[in-house]
Structure 1
Amino acid sequence: MTIHRSEKVRSALLLAGVLLAGAAGRAEAVDADRIAAVRDQVRAYRAAHEKEIVAELTGLLALPNVATNLEDIHRNAEHLTGMLRRRGFETRLLSAGEGTPPSLYGELKTPGAKRTVVFYAHFDGQPVHQQGWVSDPWKPVVRTGPLREGVGEVDPATVSGPLDPEWRLYARSASDDKSPIVALLTALDALKAAGVKPAVNLKLFLEGEEEQGSPHLSEILRRHKDLLAADVWLLCDGPVHQTRRMQVYFGARGVSGLELTVYGPLRPLHSGHYGNWAPNPAVALAHLVAGLRDAEGRILISGYYDDVRPSGEAEKKALAGLPDVESGLRQELGLGRTEGGGRRLLDSVMDPALNVRGIRSAEVGDAAANAIPTQAQVSIDFRLVPDQMPEKVRQRVEDHLRSQGWHLVTAEPDRETRLAHPKIARLEWSLDYPAARTAMDLPVSRAVLAAVEAAAGSPIVQVPMLGGSVPMSLFTRALDDVPVIGVPIVNHDNNQHGINENLRLQNLWDGIEVYAGLVAGLEW
């Protein structure tokens, strides 16, 4: 096995790993020895079918899946429907109405099972317009490791013997979020081949617009509340811990988006003739953004933290025992400093965040002109924590901007509006969903931890809340506070949402075993 990070960093990370699977208590109903035996059977099946597994995932990844393209989303849903039906699932397409992206529902009942578990993943993906893809994002390619000098392409079909687990599959949605779907279906194949019956009734909910903020998910859940009833929802979205250990997360931050545009002159002006007289919108926007957050990430909007729910004792205990990954990540990412005044990564994740996704005004470099631009735009995402609500965040942000003298509009201002107000900002909001957090000491929480640890064969990491946003709160609010727990499998350095998204094969293999352990051994 080839290790692509320095041995010194890897050893330091693993040595620091005070891993917490036992901290919440072991669930007595989970038979860890049985799950371990099942893991060995599943591993043997995977080893004998590696090429077929990768080929099935490659076929799914070859389907473009940008969430805004409805035809592509339907093609993905049809392809996945066939994959589920081959495993014996009864399937239905669920939607919020005509012209909206479908979600795919599948059900596989187990005679005698007392519990019902829903596995959630999404099959839509981010756009691929960013510059820097080294190959077509819709033509999956296996390479011998992370992109660097000496890494080459390989065709798994021509390889004799096992595939190197450090190889990576490159394509849009390789990690976010198609590979967990294939991992779960392969786990079912392996269990069937071994004659192992699932311990639970299975339901699958595969969403088709998560990357657009799940605007129709609440309506789908409302329409099909009885169909989607379960004892627990397990989310397959997100990465494993930075130490490469399996992690289970019990919460996720919410998200809201803002596109904000400020205005200058009606036409570009010569910067020598009009500089220091005609307001420059790029400069005005820089001051506006600087007034929203400080250099350490602290949000400067009055009352912004008033609604934040404090961490409970179980969450504080979990946070205190998390492995140290910060020094290794700083090396890996080339960071000379981190925000938060020296706080650890996961401590920072427990707080709200304001991220500038991008700023645009006129041109730079060879295309730059000595001119005052007509407008400037910033794109912001707000990461929310319990109990912040998107609508309240919007109110606080807009109150803050008004207090700074900005006149707020929702459409392009006309000449009269420009003349009447010295500072104009146009706001376009996307109020996606709030944060959610499941109690870590529930019986089902302890059972999931015990089953994942037994399937992984080593201690795992408990995370009170994931830094990224997944729509956990939409499930809890629509489905009578059903427990929602995240069990991700993909590598942390997968470049999701960016160029050259990838999946490390060992993460796929590990995911198959973990999902098989949950299906075969989750009891409480």
Structure 2
Amino acid sequence: MKRYLLPLLLITGFASAQSPLVEQARNYRKANENALLSEFMGLLSIPNVVYDTIGIQKTATYIVKMMEARGIKTQLLDATTKGVPPAVYGEVNVPNATKTVIFYAHYDGQPVNPNQWAEGIEPFKSVFLDASLEKGGKIIPAPKANEKINPEWRIYGRSASDDKAGVFSILTAYEVLTKLGIQPSVNIKFFFEGEEEAGSTHLSEILEKHKDKLKSDLWVICDGPVHQSGKKQVVFGVRGDVNMEVKVYASKRPLHSGHYGNWAPNPAMLLSKLLASMKDDNGRVLIKDFYDDVVPFTETEKKAIAKVPPVDEQMRNELGFMRAEGGGKSLVELINLPSLNINGISSANVGKMAANVIPVSATAALDLRLVLGNDAQRQAQKVIDHIKAQGYYVTQNESITDEERMKYPLIARVTTGKGYNAQRTKMDLPIAQNVIKAVKSSTNEEVVLMPSLGGSLPLFLFEKYLATPTITVPIANHDNNQHAENENIRIQNIWNGIETYVALMKM
């Protein structure tokens, strides 16, 4: 009988039983939440765009001070390549602990265009709103020292949710345990990366260079949102990611659209047709062999997916569109397939800057999300082969020669990022069982068990270089606008995140 208990519990969930520890953590937070948020706002005020070297250094320094204030032995782990943002590392050895868990988040953020943010909201001058902007939220003064904080308020600012909230929640969870005089049940290591939003290009160097220090039984990843239903979720995998840029060329100089229209090729039109050839009307990718190397789900994973609360209608109403892609497949099904997304298109100008010209080129940024079985470079090559099959001469050179222009009717420059592959941890591992129990102990609601997240993280590197499984336990609200303007975090999600990580440190 017992040997069948694990898969059953894994799929159906555990009975609601919020632990007394969570109540203790909540009481501590309530008594100190103004000071806690003040520290968080200080972290948010530091510019942390991944390519801003000075801002990244200041952010790392602030985190080191946060850790030292909590009594954590701390150091910076550098890569082999010089000038790479270091990982902020710390460790706590617990007497008699038999397991070691590394808690991961990243402290760098996506680039920002302040002009795209709502009036009164600046990316690194974080502000409080009494609700989300989509629900008519208004800017309110920052709460004073003993003012009651409404958990439905939002904090708006770059990295408020992705992923400074993760850094803060992990460190505050450890603070709560120490202040309560409660010893963690596992040895704890902290690892805060500074290059995630640039694709973690040098993470492998850091892992390999410091692999002896980074030995553990599990990595717990704090990144991404909770389920759209609002329920906490435990995620056992992530998609991989690789970016491409496709630039189509036409005339050597811009042309008057009246004098040369209908005769000179228009690169914007050429690129539009090329992109349209890549997907059908239901959003299915038409590129040859695009789906062929996908590793299918196990029966356990299929049963878990069947239990995920449906949110398609909720999200269509929330986002304001009637017809979804996918030919009738659900959101949870589609995020577990490889995807091809157009991140942006550029060719000449629009709006008040528009001119009656035929542009010289048109560029598209593509984002390929990968699932288990896909290889980043192999998947990108499929796209390149498709472009060639449409009659294009493909080059990687920025400068197109006159000889090439006169030899080839269709010319495209295609560049591919390094990218990384997908990762998935088996759901029936004993340590996965411990994680599920811990997260469940922090809530009275059912916990969503997700075989893979739609987003991407380079988690396959932890298996490749350290032979260690990873499990993601996200905390942010699903409508947090990560990577975009008006990024935000709902305060209750911060509080829930602290409680979740308190439970994980005692699993």
Band of TM-score, shorter chain: over 0.9
Tell me the residue number matched to 2:266.
280
CA distance in 2, matches of 1:26, 1:506: 23
Q: Is the 8 A contact 2:143 2:149 kept in 1?
A: no
Tell me the residue number matched to 2:163.
177
Letter in 1 for 2:54: E
* SS state at 1:517 partner: helix
Structure 1 residues 390, 130: CA separation in 2 closer, same or farther (over 3 Å shift)?
farther
Matched, 1:462 2:449: yes
Once the two structures are superposed, residues 78-122 of structure 1 have per-residue CA deviations (whole angstroms, 9 ceiling, x without a partner) of: 111111111121112112232111111111111110000001100
Cα shift at 1:162? 2.9
* SS state at 2:454 partner: coil
Tell me the residue number matched to 2:423.
436
Matched, 1:403 2:386: no
Listed as ranges, the gaps of 5+ residues in structure 1 are 1-19
Cα shift at 1:53? 1.0
- Mean CA deviation greater in 367-376 or 310-319: 367-376
Cα shift at 1:368? 2.1
CA distance in 1, matches of 2:101, 2:133: 38
Q: Which of 488, 491, 499 is the equivalent residue of 2:474?
A: 488
Report sequence identity in percent. Answer: 46
Matched, 1:367 2:353: yes
Cα shift at 1:130? 5.6
CA distance in 2, matches of 1:369, 1:167: 44
Letter in 2 for 1:285: L
Tell me the residue number matched to 1:85.
68
Aligned 1:328-407 pairs, distance under 5 A: 328-407=314-393
Aligned 1:114-125 pairs, distance under 5 A: 114-125=98-109
* SS state at 1:408 partner: strand
Cα shift at 1:390? 0.8
Q: Is the 8 A contact 1:21 1:449 kept in 2?
A: no
CA distance in 2, matches of 1:476, 1:220: 14
Letter in 2 for 1:414: T
- Mean CA deviation greater in 493-502 or 155-164: 155-164
Tell me the residue number matched to 2:91.
107
Matched, 1:129 2:116: no
Listed as ranges, the gaps of 5+ residues in structure 2 are 1-6
Q: Is the 8 A contact 2:377 2:419 kept in 1?
A: no
CA distance in 2, matches of 1:218, 1:148: 39
Tell me the residue number matched to 1:271.
257
Tell me the residue number matched to 1:320.
306
Q: Is the 8 A contact 2:440 2:446 kept in 1?
A: yes
- Mean CA deviation greater in 186-195 or 153-162: 153-162
* SS state at 2:419 partner: strand
Cα shift at 1:149? 7.1
* SS state at 1:259 partner: strand
Structure 1 residues 22, 161: CA separation in 2 closer, same or farther (over 3 Å shift)?
farther
Cα shift at 1:42? 0.2
Structure 1 residues 280, 156: CA separation in 2 closer, same or farther (over 3 Å shift)?
closer
Letter in 1 for 2:406: L
Aligned 1:158-177 pairs, distance under 5 A: 158=144, 160-177=146-163
* SS state at 1:433 partner: coil
Q: Is the 8 A contact 2:48 2:55 kept in 1?
A: yes
Q: Is the 8 A contact 2:224 2:476 kept in 1?
A: yes
CA distance in 2, matches of 1:312, 1:281: 45
Letter in 1 for 2:197: E
Tell me the residue number matched to 1:52.
35
Tell me the residue number matched to 1:309.
295
CA distance in 1, matches of 2:426, 2:213: 25
Cα shift at 1:314? 1.0
Once the two structures are superposed, residues 296-353 of structure 1 have per-residue CA deviations (whole angstroms, 9 ceiling, x without a partner) of: 2211111111111111111110111111111111111111110001211010011000
Tell me the residue number matched to 1:452.
439
CA distance in 2, matches of 1:307, 1:148: 40
Letter in 2 for 1:494: N
Matched, 1:62 2:45: yes
Tell me the residue number matched to 1:195.
181
CA distance in 2, matches of 1:471, 1:167: 32
CA distance in 1, matches of 2:149, 2:320: 31
Q: Is the 8 A contact 1:24 1:441 kept in 2?
A: no
Task: Output the TM-score relative to the length of structure 2.
Answer: 0.95
CA distance in 1, matches of 2:48, 2:229: 30
Aligned 1:213-232 pairs, distance under 5 A: 213-232=199-218
Cα shift at 1:370? 2.3
Q: Is the 8 A contact 1:156 1:163 kept in 2?
A: no
Matched, 1:206 2:173: no
CA distance in 2, matches of 1:370, 1:156: 49
Cα shift at 1:132? 2.6
Matched, 1:417 2:404: yes
Tell me the residue number matched to 1:72.
55
Q: Which runs of 4+ in 1 moved over 6 A?
A: none
Q: Is the 8 A contact 2:244 2:380 kept in 1?
A: no
Task: Output the TM-score relative to the length of structure 1.
Answer: 0.92
* SS state at 2:117 partner: coil
Q: Is the 8 A contact 1:268 1:373 kept in 2?
A: yes
CA distance in 1, matches of 2:8, 2:174: 25
Q: Which of 71, 82, 106 is the equivalent residue of 1:98?
A: 82
Once the two structures are superposed, residues 459-507 of structure 1 have per-residue CA deviations (whole angstroms, 9 ceiling, x without a partner) of: 1101111001111111111112x11100001100001111111110000
* SS state at 1:49 partner: helix
* SS state at 1:309 partner: coil
Once the two structures are superposed, residues 392-429 of structure 1 have per-residue CA deviations (whole angstroms, 9 ceiling, x without a partner) of: 11221222222221111112212222122111111121
